[in-house]
Structure 1
């Protein structure tokens, strides 16, 4: 009888542990699914100040992008209270359609040469949450073609390399062509590139 009682007690403890483990797994699984659902929809959009450029006339261009925190939900935010840039706004060429995830170097806002220590503020409100990007002429945020390509292309420039230029695209032959409706027109495009940045080891080919 004593052995039977002991065996029953052991079985009870084992069953209790299994039940706790099962409930814990269920809670973790539910929390994971809930987090994934919240991450794919219902999140807001963060405006991003990418940096500023110097223009040939002495003025400056503030460069902006955004981060849509949703993996699946694209949002439309019309110009106005929920999507404005000040001073000088509310409409300064910013987007109203925000696709998922990160949009880099999307648009520029030109400011005068005497902008000085002023701020340009982009305000976005989505799903009840407001975020702002503050654009200034802080020297740490100056951008050029090299920085833009490093951010968009995911590669850096090695020491001693010249600045990479944009690819050149031109149409071979006459710049003016004529054709009739319903007839095809063949065009030959020639693209040249400076080959920079050079391929990394293992990327040749």
Structure 2
């Protein structure tokens, strides 16, 4: 390949990349919904108590802006393995709630 052909290839490749970048819409990471979205558990870390037992701390994110959800203990709100009811919350406020449950 000659120098001129190499330069032409580089210019075309750069133009294609620039054009592709211009075509992409911006991603809105702050997109929020008023209702109808999920509740997502969040592992927040672990701690050791005075007796030396290790506990995992969890919170959740309710992706709804306006909707508070009540999810009873059962198939949609269970911890496995073990008993379905391990003291987890059943009432989920909107937004990110931290440190609401430990295992």
From the CA coordinates, give the structure whose radius of gyration is larger: 1
Q: What corresponds to 1:94 in structure 2?
A: 88
Cα separation, 2, equivalents of 1:68 and 1:53? 24
Extract unaligned runs of 5+ from structure 1.
1-34, 110-205
Given candidates 30, 46, 55, the residue that maps to 1:52 is 46
Cα separation, 1, equivalents of 2:80 and 2:52? 21
Given candidates 45, 53, 57, the residue that maps to 1:63 is 57
Extract unaligned runs of 5+ from structure 2.
1-30
The 5 Å alignment of 1:173-184 reads none
The 5 Å alignment of 1:1-205 reads 39-109=33-103
Which has more helix, going by share of residues? 1
Q: How far off is 1:78 after superposition?
A: 0.4
Cα separation, 1, equivalents of 2:42 and 2:36? 19
> Normalization by structure 2: what TM-score?
0.65
Q: How far off is 1:84 after superposition?
A: 0.8
Cα separation, 2, equivalents of 1:91 and 1:63? 16
**Number of equivalent positions:** 73
